Structure 1
Amino acid sequence: MTFEDLGLSPQVLSALADAGYTAPTPIQAGAIPHALAGRDVLGIAQTGTGKTASFTLPMIERLARGRARARMPRSLILCPTRELADQVAENVRLYAKNHKLTMALLIGGVAFGPQKDILDRGADILIATPGRLLDHFERGGLLLMGVEILVIDEADRMLDMGFIPDIERIVGMLPPRRQTLFFSATMPAEIQRLVSTFLNNPERVEVTRPAQTAETITQYLVRVSDNQPKTKRAALRAAINREGVKNGIIFCNRKRDVDIVARSLQRHGFSAAPIHGDLDQSLRMKTLAQFKSGELRLLVASDVAARGLDIPAVSHVFNMDIPRNADDYVHRIGRTGRAGLTGESVTIVTPEDRKSLANVAKLIGGEPKTLELDGTGQAPSAPAKSQETSEADAPEAAANDSAGNDAPARERGEGRSRRRRGGRGRSRDRAQGAGHDKAPAQAPVETVRPDSAPARPREDRPTRGERESEDAAVGFGDHVPEFLLRPAI
């Protein structure tokens, strides 16, 4: 089948030819004809199968006739992340270059004013993340009653990120008579509820079984003996140093680990940079551009930042941590082996990961095979402390101390107070830690002034409120100056 068989116009076919596309993917061949006919579509396909063109191409065709009015977009595409929204915008520019359609991109992390100016002039296609869209709507800069086509992309990720209430609110602002194109890689119960609510007798296009990994991806496990971060970083470096690793995306479960792993790789001479939601939007876009151009070899990412990104030539995916959610494993390794290319995924697992690994194996139909590093299935041991200690480890140690220390915060605070008062408590702790057989060189001596009154027991000392309620004036002892005793005139 070719794109000509799908009923697309010569202008769109010309743009596709210029982009180098000759044949539609299965999801495109299944969804585009129904979308062109105005039907609601439920598309279920894993990442990297061409979902974006499945809704942008028919949308461009249907919007080719007509004109947008100020602050009233004719179509709306909702995306879970800024990067995915920007990527969809790039595809729209590519496919619609032969049409006179206007587009607005509403994402956070960039200036509000230019977005408002585009909306005021009128936009045929509006691409947005839920949060920024609601910001514009609440400020009166956006009216949604003119939307003819609604697209919800990566719906299952919307669910994971907690956007479903926002999505329901946005859909409630749209006209009931509209076309809805709904795409998701998986179909949990909550997503099925949304489908029954938002879509009207949709045409279901399911290219592959939900949560099934692509056959173009070879999956490996690297087993390490413990859960120490240094051991896992050593195993990661050994896996990266294998032959054939052109570039790769490294996934971590926590954003703080993304920064730590990126700094550690940089210190060991690797071309690596982090990307996660706490970074400035301009820096995230610059990092992505460097990775796509080949200037950057390794991208260390969180699940949210990398979900849905279309980077066609990623040779490897590395899971620094096995995902908490088994579905995320499918989304992660789907960054490689795209567009017919082959790829590899390497997941580092520890003995504590048995349950999570079992969930992944159950979902994908089997456990990936173990990768032999240095002739064994065991990753190389972590380097000695003197070689490994660096600034990359400092934030990790501080974070582990704050997250894993079981001592109450009050006790830690008292310890710090004793050190500030002169270190007497620290000296006593050291003496006790050294053992009872070693006495301190000189016992601390407390000097008591002869004219001072004996100290009152702690429980007998008045509180601040009690002191303020006493008759004696605080600060003058027992003597009250006469001017304070004079009656007011």
Structure 2
Amino acid sequence: MALPLALSGQDLIGQARTGTGKTLAFGIAMLQSIGKPRKNRKKPRGLVVVPTRELAVQVSEDLVTAAGKLGSRVLTVYGGRAYEPQVEALKAGVDVIVGTPGRLLDLVKQKHLDLSQVTALVLDEADRMLDLGFLPDIERIFKLIPEQRQTMLFSATMPGEIVGLSRKYLNRPTHVRAEHDSGEGETTPQVRQIVWRAHRMDKIEIVARLLQAEGRGLTMVFCETKRACDMVAEQLDTRGFAVAAVHGDLGQGQREQALRAFRNGKIDVLVATDVAARGIDIDDVTHVVNYDCPTDDKTYVHRIGRTGRAGRTGISVTFVEWEELTRWKMINQMLGLDFAEPEETYSTSAHVYTELNIPEGTKGVLPHAARSRAGLSAERIEDLGETGRSRTRGRRRDEREERPPAARTPRQRRRTRGGKLTQEGAAPVETLEVEPVDSHSRPNEETPAIITTDEVARATAEPRRRTRRSVVQDEPVAQDTPVAAAPPQDTAVAEAPVQEAPATRATSRTTGRATSRSATRTAPVETREAELVTPPVAQPVAERPVAAAVPEPSFLSTPPPPAGKEPERIIPPSPFAVIFQSPDLATDDDDIAPSAATERKQQRRQARGNGGNRRRAG
């Protein structure tokens, strides 16, 4: 009906159900009026404005198919892609441009696009553009196009705003309606509609069983918000279904990847917001699920119109929660449906299996034998040179990488019994090496501490006793040990013989403790240079007094810890006695603060004095 009027060059408003071929109705007329492309004509002659990116891609594909014999140059322009390829195509020359309002105005502002020679303008899904707030952009586009043009508006629903827009910018338009007399926005009769009242926590279980119905093809699930869209897609992916999500927070490459995988059959479930509810034409869509109740009657009509297209049949299932009953009753009244009181339904209800032809005993998880789809990862994602901020989403089941568990390093444990290592956990005994010191070669240097072989033998052979402080102590040295006479100060210190006891050594910073967890394991002996303490006057051994029962400290012994002094306890004489008293910070030079009465007397005296002075002055 609209094609003869469009070919004649008249302005018109086309209204028809979804899936009736509105794209070819204006596309054929536009391509016919433009004619074959010419080399000297690079500016576009036709312009199609659409609300969403997915719809722009689909309209461009339909126009390219229709212009196969003419060879018309069709360019798709929308956001989310790089500017450079679109600018290069505009420089080479185009005949028809299909794009979204935002990117069109950006290219015009950058002076890459000139709309001064456009003779045909089409607004596809015009009501959706008004809902998205594109009215100011559309008015700017109208001002950039010559007044002598053909303007066509096409949509499945035609609200009053579109009529007002047509009166302002269209020249005596003809309104063509391919509808019955029952009313505006009537739904497609090929779609069998089912409306159930379901609980929010049980809807995902019903959807999982619906997806296992006999004869089910591709399925679209519509959600109200982006977060709900991601949640439903993740839940279905966990249950084993090949699913992908499409919404505004995803990058353009990810959105096109999901739609290509859905068209090619690599996934069979597409969870989307209302960005995919307008004009998307995909074959073999048998089921449409309104996971969230639509906001109005127009949204409901466009959603269920994704199935039952071009004479095919389909099934639509709508879930209505208890708090959404009022909204649904308004939609039901506007469209004249028979679902004013939806039936209360759960995943275990018997009518779910009978109405959707679901086999008995079906559960909410897809069996492994039925998981034959390749999945979203099988579809390659294109590098579109996306602009704007980077957008990410959760990885699907087939994209997750299983990380191997981290290898644990085995702990080395030693078995002990009574503080001593057993044969299994015995550690090798470290031997101490003593380097001989040549006093004649280095006479002016200090001689390091010399360890006798007896001390080394006792340290390596004799077992140590464990004390409370975990300190290894040596036995006291005998009292009758001969003490070697100290050499003179002006001569070099000679090496002590092995039989004699070593000279008295000064205590170093490190106390030489041999702390260990076992009795037989000894700590490595550090050979450090220490100063030899020589007495000022050498005394004979016989004249020296012998200390009774005072053992001489050995090299490997530990000095006894100092006796702790217990602090004195302060016991007050009475629990009410004052223990602390704040100090008096006042001094003799401080003046005593006057009282209030004294200040008042001074003020009276000053007032009298001032009055007397005034009388004398007068």
TM-score (norm 1): 0.69
Q: Is 2:252 aligned against 1:278?
A: no
Deviations 1:271-308 (A, max 9, x none): 11100111111111111111111111000000023321
Q: 1:244 to 1:65 in 2, by over 3 A?
A: closer
Letter in 2 for 1:214: T
Q: Counterparts of 1:102 and 1:69 in 2: how far apart (Å)?
A: 13
The match for 2:51 among 80, 105, 110 is 80
- 3-state SS in 1 of match to 2:231: helix
Q: Is 2:180 aligned against 1:206?
A: no
> What is the aligned partner in structure 1 of residue 213 from structure 2?
242
> What is the aligned partner in structure 1 of residue 192 from structure 2?
218
Deviations 1:156-192 (A, max 9, x none): 1111111111111111111000001111221212111
Q: Counterparts of 1:68 and 1:355 in 2: how far apart (Å)?
A: 60
Q: Counterparts of 1:336 and 1:125 in 2: how far apart (Å)?
A: 29
Shift of 1:242: 2.7
Shift of 1:370: 4.7
Q: Is 2:336 aligned against 1:365?
A: yes
Q: Is 2:234 aligned against 1:259?
A: no
Pairing 1:120-159 to 2, within 5 Å after superposition: 120-159=91-130
Deviations 1:384-404 (A, max 9, x none): xxxxxxxxxxx9xxxxxxxxx
Pairing 1:453-464 to 2, within 5 Å after superposition: none
> What is the aligned partner in structure 2 of residue 161 from structure 1?
132
- 3-state SS in 2 of match to 1:177: coil
> What is the aligned partner in structure 1 of residue 161 from structure 2?
190
Shift of 1:60: 1.3
The match for 1:106 among 77, 80, 84 is 77
> What is the aligned partner in structure 1 of residue 552 from structure 2?
none
Higher relative contact order (CA 8 A, sep 6+): 1
Contact 1:220 1:371 in 2 (8 A): no
Letter in 2 for 1:163: F
> What is the aligned partner in structure 1 of residue 383 from structure 2?
none
> What is the aligned partner in structure 1 of residue 314 from structure 2?
343
Contact 2:226 2:273 in 1 (8 A): yes
Letter in 1 for 2:245: P
- 3-state SS in 2 of match to 1:159: helix
Contact 2:60 2:98 in 1 (8 A): yes
Q: Counterparts of 1:240 and 1:367 in 2: how far apart (Å)?
A: 25
Q: Counterparts of 2:12 and 2:123 in 1: how far apart (Å)?
A: 11
Contact 2:121 2:151 in 1 (8 A): yes
Shift of 1:69: 5.9
TM-score (norm 2): 0.55
C-alpha RMSD over aligned residues: 2.4
Contact 2:42 2:90 in 1 (8 A): yes
Contact 1:221 1:371 in 2 (8 A): no
Q: Counterparts of 1:301 and 1:126 in 2: how far apart (Å)?
A: 27
Pairing 1:23-102 to 2, within 5 Å after superposition: 30-65=1-36, 67=38, 72-102=43-73
Q: Counterparts of 2:263 and 2:352 in 1: how far apart (Å)?
A: 32
Letter in 2 for 1:32: L
Contact 1:71 1:143 in 2 (8 A): no
Q: Percent identity?
A: 41
Long gaps (5+) in structure 1? 1-29, 384-394, 396-449, 451-489
Contact 1:42 1:181 in 2 (8 A): yes
Q: Counterparts of 1:109 and 1:69 in 2: how far apart (Å)?
A: 31
Q: 1:66 to 1:99 in 2, by over 3 A?
A: closer
Number of residue pairs the alignment of both structures matches: 353
Q: Counterparts of 2:257 and 2:349 in 1: how far apart (Å)?
A: 39
- 3-state SS in 2 of match to 1:141: coil
Deviations 1:299-342 (A, max 9, x none): 00000233210113210000000011221001000000001000
- 3-state SS in 2 of match to 1:315: strand
- 3-state SS in 2 of match to 1:309: coil
Structure with the larger helix share: 1
Q: Counterparts of 1:243 and 1:363 in 2: how far apart (Å)?
A: 33
Letter in 2 for 1:351: W
Q: Counterparts of 2:125 and 2:8 in 1: how far apart (Å)?
A: 23
Q: Counterparts of 2:279 and 2:169 in 1: how far apart (Å)?
A: 22
Contact 1:220 1:370 in 2 (8 A): no
Shift of 1:121: 1.8
Q: Counterparts of 2:75 and 2:344 in 1: how far apart (Å)?
A: 46
Q: Counterparts of 1:42 and 1:355 in 2: how far apart (Å)?
A: 33
Q: 1:301 to 1:154 in 2, by over 3 A?
A: same
Q: Is 2:232 aligned against 1:232?
A: no
Q: 1:98 to 1:129 in 2, by over 3 A?
A: same
Q: Counterparts of 2:352 and 2:310 in 1: how far apart (Å)?
A: 33
Contact 2:217 2:284 in 1 (8 A): no
Contact 1:46 1:210 in 2 (8 A): no
Shift of 1:100: 2.7
